[in-house]
């Protein structure tokens, strides 16, 4: 035992005594101050610890302090060799249970499994992902109408599929407002500049001269678009081609204004999508037939393709999360951005071979684990 110095007072306090194994002996042949006598007495009375003490603090315990003086519990005599033998407890002693494993991170997965989208089965994808995530997280699926009420009970929230956004816009906005106000950890983070903030970014990127399908939002800006026989008109807030219309040039001016974007109909070879987890490229898929754009096949991305895609990932500066860069291959071989999906991108995992699908799920799980453990670690 340590000498009686101020810095050694109650070295063996309640916290340290609780760390000793059941049945462990404590021997003190020094002074009484290094041991918290009251805390030790509690352990002796329950039979969890044994002790051999030369002295206690104070030297003579006060009359109201529990003592271990009866023959079954040992003897206590100030300034003499005092042995606390294995006590005879007043109630049956039950060894402590083995320590519980560290609590696993709690993940709230917000999805609308009933959401229907043309050519896409979000529910199948969410069921697959959550079945795999359960190996690492304590996970609960949550309808978007309940997200704001339940989010405080979880370490992180994942918002998946377009249902929470398009099908329950008011509830999603309430969730988003609360998450931003409370600093809740949401995956993807709510700071994205692309689709999660609407499609204004297409106007900004187009005006900045980046390789984007030329886009305007006002009738007076139609002159900035290249001449075309047909134009695409789509809502500023939208996904899965909902609300998208293709109209002849003569009708486009009447539709301009309000919450729509206008683009020329581009004669492209095919559409291709590049999928990222955090800043790491995972895989690419393309639709060989422009008329059957939901029928996707694996695509071998070139270095030039990835340089194009990373340009927009870097621009968004999201830090972590899943992003999908959608582009079209023009007749001259170049790529133009169609959209950058940074909120709830459909992953088309069913189009991947099993090995590639497993690799993506592993990357997603690892990213979520880093994100949540970062959220649990002290700043």
Q: pLDDT per residue over 313-333, tens digit each? A: 999 998 889 999 999 999 999
**Contact call for residues 281 and 274 (beta carbons, < 8 A):** yes
| CATH assignment of the domain containing 287 | 3.30.470.20
Q: What pLDDT does residue 276 have?
A: 97
Q: What pLDDT does residue 94 have?
A: 54
Residue 62 lies in a domain: yes
Both 287 and 354 in a single domain?
A: yes
Distance CA 29, CA 3 (A): 10
Whether residue 60 is predicted with pLDDT greater than 90 in this model: the reply is no
Instruction: Give just the sign of the alpha carbon dihedral 127, 130, 135, 138.
Output: negative
Both 275 and 355 in a single domain?
A: yes
Both 321 and 272 in a single domain?
A: yes
Both 176 and 233 in a single domain?
A: no
Of the ranges 15-29, 51-65, 256-270, the best mean pLDDT one: 256-270
Both 259 and 293 in a single domain?
A: no
Both 299 and 336 in a single domain?
A: yes
Q: What pLDDT does residue 238 have?
A: 58
Residue 376 lies in a domain: no
Whether residue 216 is predicted with pLDDT greater than 50 in this model: the reply is yes
Residue 368 lies in a domain: no
Torsion of CA 205, 206, 210, 212, to 10 degrees: 100
Residue 379 lies in a domain: no
Residue 141 lies in a domain: yes
Q: What pLDDT does residue 260 have?
A: 81
Choose among 191, 108, 195, 107: nearest CA to 148. Answer: 108
The more confident residue out of 70 and 310 is: 310
Confidence band for 184, pLDDT divided at 50, 70 and 90: very high
Distance CA 122, CA 270 (A): 23
Residue 148 lies in a domain: yes
| CATH assignment of the domain containing 127 | 3.40.50
Q: How many domains does the chain have?
A: 4
- Give me the domain span that covers residue 310: 268-363
Residue 100 lies in a domain: no
Confidence band for 45, pLDDT divided at 50, 70 and 90: low
Residue 99 lies in a domain: no
Both 169 and 240 in a single domain?
A: no
SS3 string of the chain?
CCCCCHHHCCCECHHHHHHCCCCCEEEECCCCCCECHHHHHHHHHHCCCEEEECCCCCCCCCCCCCCCCCCCCCCCCCCCCEEECCCCCCCCCCCCCCCCCCCCCEEEEECCCCCCECCECHHHHHHHHHHHHCCCCEEEEECHHHHHHHHHHCCEEEECCCHHHHHCHHHHHHHHHHHHHHCCCEECCCCCCCCECECHHHHHHHHCCCCECCCECCHHHHHHCCCCCEEEEEECCCCCCCCCEEEEHHHHHHHCCCCEEEEECCCEEEEEEEEEECCEEEEEEEECCHHHCCCCEECCCCHHHHHHHHHHHHHHCCCCCEEEEEEEEECCCCEEEEEEECCCCCCCHHHCCHHHHHHHHHHHHHHHHHHHHHHHCCC
Both 280 and 252 in a single domain?
A: no
pTM of the model: 0.68
* Mean of the per-residue pLDDT values of the chain: 80
Confidence band for 255, pLDDT divided at 50, 70 and 90: confident
Q: Which residues pair with 323 in a beta bridge?
A: 276
Among 49, 84, 119, the domain-final residue is 84
Both 315 and 278 in a single domain?
A: yes
Both 224 and 278 in a single domain?
A: no
| CATH assignment of the domain containing 11 | 3.40.50.720
Both 143 and 177 in a single domain?
A: yes
Both 248 and 275 in a single domain?
A: no
**Contact call for residues 220 and 257 (beta carbons, < 8 A):** no
Q: What pLDDT does residue 225 have?
A: 84
């Amino acid at each position: 035992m340590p000498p009686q110095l101020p810095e050694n007072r109650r070295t063996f306090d309640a916290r340290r005594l609780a760390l000793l194994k059941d049945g462990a002996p404590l021997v003190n042949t020094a002074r009484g101050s290094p041991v918290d006598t009251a805390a030790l007495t509690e352990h002796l009375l329950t039979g969890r610890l044994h002790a051999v003490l030369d002295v206690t603090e104070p030297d003579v315990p006060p009359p109201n302090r529990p003592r271990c003086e009866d023959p079954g519990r040992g003897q206590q005599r100030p300034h003499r060799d005092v042995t606390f033998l294995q006590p005879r407890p007043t109630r049956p002693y039950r060894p402590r249970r083995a320590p519980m494993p560290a609590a696993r991170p709690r993940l709230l997965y917000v999805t609308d499994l009933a959401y229907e989208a043309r050519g896409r089965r979000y529910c199948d994808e969410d069921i697959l992902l959550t079945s795999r995530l359960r190996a690492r997280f304590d996970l609960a699926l949550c309808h978007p109408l309940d997200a704001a009420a339940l989010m405080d009970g979880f370490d992180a929230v994942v918002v998946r599929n377009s249902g929470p956004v398009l099908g329950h816009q008011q509830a999603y906005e309430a969730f988003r407002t609360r998450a931003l106000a409370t600093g809740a950890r949401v995956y993807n983070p709510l700071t994205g500049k692309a689709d999660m903030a609407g499609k204004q970014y297409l106007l900004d990127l187009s005006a900045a001269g980046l390789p984007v399908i030329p886009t305007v939002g006002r009738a007076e800006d139609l002159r900035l678009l290249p001449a075309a026989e047909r134009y695409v008109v789509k809502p500023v807030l939208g996904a899965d081609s909902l609300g998208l219309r293709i109209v002849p040039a003569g009708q486009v001016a009447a539709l301009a204004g309000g919450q729509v974007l206008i683009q020329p109909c581009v004669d492209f070879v095919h559409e291709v999508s590049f999928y990222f987890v955090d800043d790491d490229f995972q895989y690419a898929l393309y639709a060989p037939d422009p008329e059957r754009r939901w029928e996707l096949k694996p695509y071998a991305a070139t270095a030039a393709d990835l340089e194009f895609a990373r340009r927009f990932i870097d621009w968004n500066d999201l830090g972590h999360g899943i992003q999908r860069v959608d582009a079209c291959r023009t007749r001259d071989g170049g790529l133009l951005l169609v959209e950058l999906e940074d909120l709830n991108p459909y992953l088309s995992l069913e189009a991947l071979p099993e090995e590639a699908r497993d690799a993506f799920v592993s990357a997603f799980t690892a990213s979520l684990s880093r994100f949540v453990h970062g959220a649990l670690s002290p700043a």
